[in-house]
Structures are given as structure tokens and as C-alpha cells.
Structure 1
Amino acid sequence: MSSTTLYRLSGISLLIGGLFAALAAVPVFFTGEDPTSPIAATAALLRIIGDMLIVVGLPGVYSRQAQRAGLLGLIGFLFTFVYILIQGVVGDTIEAFILPFLASAVPSLVKGSPPQGLVIFFLAGGLLGLVGSVLLGVTMLRAKTVARWAGLPLIVGVVLSLGGSFLPPVVGTTGTVLFLLGLAWLGFDVWSSLQSMSQPEGTLESLQK
């Protein structure tokens, strides 16, 4: 498989995964985070699919501009990648499978405070996501390409998403959707640039010149 084909597939994977996960996050606006809601559990299951596509596509998209991204870009990518694994893949897996079971089998456990270890785990993931997405977003904003503006929803999205823990849930959900749309935008730019071959160095070719 040629590198061009790999980058194109990575862009498509990131585009579809970001859009899919963003659409699957919309039901949360109406159901909230009720673990007994079958709609919420189904939406979480669908988000897992989108999360996995993002995990598959993001490394390839980053590798296309790794040499020009610099140290900040590398740190931003790694932290963001781990954040997606923790808050996306692991978090949505818990919402899709574990919480609905506990809600029916041991309701008092779900209504009580979550285990301290789990809180620390997701708090660490959130902090990594905050630092990583801000660094990655700033790196993108410094790029001299159209897709540089995809860095803005990454930054705003992750801040709102984490702020949703202290603000109304709709704020956090809005931030999550923005963050996912920013990733989808990045994937689209990589894919479209390779399709047209008008930007042979890809989405973030001018990072940190």
C-alpha cells in the first residue's frame, strides 16, 4: 500500500469517525446521561464505532505532517490520542455496557459517587485532552492552510467538554460535538487535498516552519 493511499484512508477514517461520533452525541442533548435510557446506551454504542475510526485515522493523518509539526505538535497529538482512548473508547464502552447493567442490577451503586480510582482515571484523561487539544489546535492555527481553522473547534470544544462537569450538561455535550467536528474537518482536508493533489504535502504541511 502506498503512503498516499494510507494517508487518504486515514483522512476518510478520521472524517467518518468524527462525523459519526458527533451525530451519536446529539441524543445526549435530550436524554442526558441517564444510564437507564436505552437511547443513551445505543448512542454510546454508536459513538464507540466513531471513536474507533478516529483512533485508526488520527495517527496516519498526524504522520503526514509529523516532521513539520515539531515537539508541540507531537505532544499535542499523543495527549489528544490518549484522551480519545480514555474519554471516548473507554468512557463510551462504560456508558454502553457497564452502566446500564449496574443500573438494573445495583441501582444504588449507580446513584452513588463513582469509585475514586475511576474519577482519577477520567480526570487524568481530561487533563491530557485539555493540554493535548490546545497544543494541537494552536499548532494547526499557525499552519498556512485552510484547515488551520479546524484547530479552533478542537480548542473550544475540549474546554467546553471538560467544563461541562461544572456547568449544565448541555455545555459539555456541545463541546464534545465541536471537538469531534474539528477532527472530522481535519480528516476531510487531508482526504480532499490528496484527491485533488493540489496540496501534496497535506493538511498541516506548513506547521511550525
Structure 2
Amino acid sequence: MSITTTHLIRAAGVSAVVAGLLFCGVQINHPPVDLAFVSTTEFAIRQTMKICFTLLSLIGITGMYLSQVRKAGALGLIGYLILGAGFIGMLTLEVAALVILPAIVHTSPDYVSAAIGVALGGRAAIDVGLLSVLNSFVGITYMAGGLVFGIALFRANVLARWASIMLAVATPLSILIPFLPFINQRLFAVPTGLALIALGSSLWLTFRSQDAVAESRSLPEPAVAR
């Protein structure tokens, strides 16, 4: 099978679906994040799922944007760049949490506690360096990028419009997370995950049908009996 642009965009759709499933799945029975949890195998597994989520989401939104560059226009480009920056920043945070925090949890528990507090939207009791700045950057770009990109997808009208609206609404609502009980914080991730699943499915189905039309046109004409 030859690799075509259509195949790559459909693969991006699959990536978005898997990303959404991971984002929803990682929230299930998620224990409170504290010093005891950081040193467990479950923490490592969940962090790995979050890292895969950010990578696959970045691939997914790239396919969504490239599938409708002209229709999305300047708003689509701006939304894609902002949301993409948010996912890259999120990837940096999740990798750092997986690699660094378990290694220093016993030697520097105060720093780990402060880092956890910052990640959950609170204030650090001690200086955590640029971690607070990076966390704020991720929050702003994730919420603003999701809003703008969702609106651009809705206006382009290539993928499922209801899923575009869900993305545009769900990501900015993350600003409420620091003010909610822990159990509700986890539920707030579900709409974004469902939006990614729906948009990824719509992307795959849209370009599957286009691929089928292109293949039918390339078939040789049947021989006419004489």
C-alpha cells in the first residue's frame, strides 16, 4: 500500500480517537496525587498514558488542521498553533513528572509537594523555579487554543460541528478545576476526551469516503462486449 496524504490524515484521525480514549481512561479511579502516590507503579503507568495522550493529540489536531487549511483560514492556524503549543508544554510537564518526581520524592519531599500543588492549580509553598510559569503557560494555551481551534473547526464545517463546539466549550471550562472537589476535577476531562474521539472519528470517516471515491475513479472502465 502506498502512503498518501489521505492515509496520513486518516491515521491522524485514529490518533485523536486513541488520545481521547486515553484522556477519559486515565481519569477512572484516579487516586489523589500526593507523595505516597508519586512513588508507585500506578503513578508511572498513568503518567505514561498522559504522555501518550499529549503526543497523539498533537498528531490528531495536526491532521485536523491540514485536512482543511483553506477553509479554516487564519483563525484555524492561530488556534492550531496555540493549542499545539499547549500540548507541547503539557508533554514537557508530564515527562518531567514521570522522570524527576519519583527520583526525588524521598530526598526532596517539600519540592515534590510544592510541584504537585502547582500542577493542581494551587500556589507553591516553596520556590519551584520556572515550573509555575510553565504550568501557567500550559493552562492558558490549552484553554485558549481549544476555544479558538474549536471555533475554527466549526466555521470550516468539514468535521462534526457538534464535536467542534464541545472542544471549544470543554477546554476553557478547565479554568474551574482549581475551585472544584477532586472527584469533579477528573470529570472535567471527559468532555474534552469525547470531543477528540468524535473529531478523530469524523476525520477518519470523511477521508475514508474521499479515498473510496478516488479509488473508484481510478478503476479501469469495464470492457464492452461486441
The TM-score with structure 2 as length reference comes to 0.76
Displacement of 1:12: 1.1
Residue 113 (structure 2) pairs with residue 111 (structure 1): yes
Post-superposition Cα deviations, 1:96-116, rounded to whole Å, max 9, x if no partner, equal: 232222222321222242614
Post-superposition Cα deviations, 1:151-193, rounded to whole Å, max 9, x if no partner, equal: 2332332223232123323343222232232122111111012
Percent identical pairs in the alignment equals 26
Residue of 48, 68, 73 corresponding to 2:51: 48
Residue of 12, 22, 25 corresponding to 1:23: 25
Give 1:150's aligned amino acid.
A
**2:61 aligns to what?**
58
Map 1:29-44 → 2, pairs under 5 A: 31-37=31-37, 38=40, 39-44=42-47
Between the aligned partners of 1:156 and 1:162, the Cα distance in structure 2 is: 11
Map 1:187-206 → 2, pairs under 5 A: 187-197=200-210
Aligned length: 197
Structure with bigger gyration radius: 2
Say if 1:142 and 1:67 are closer, same or farther in 2 by CA, change over 3 A: closer
Q: Is the 8 A contact 2:21 2:193 kept in 1?
A: yes
Between the aligned partners of 1:187 and 1:96, the Cα distance in structure 2 is: 27
Displacement of 1:75: 0.8
Q: Segments of 4+ in structure 1 off by > 6 A?
A: none
Q: Is the 8 A contact 2:144 2:172 kept in 1?
A: no
**Greater Cα offset, 38-47 or 167-176:** 167-176
Question: Gaps spanning 5+ residues in structure 2: where?
Answer: 115-123, 214-226
Residue of 78, 87, 100 corresponding to 2:81: 78
Give 1:20's aligned amino acid.
L
Say if 1:5 and 1:45 are closer, same or farther in 2 by CA, change over 3 A: same
Displacement of 1:143: 4.4
Question: Gaps spanning 5+ residues in structure 1: where?
Answer: 201-209
Give 2:47's aligned amino acid.
A
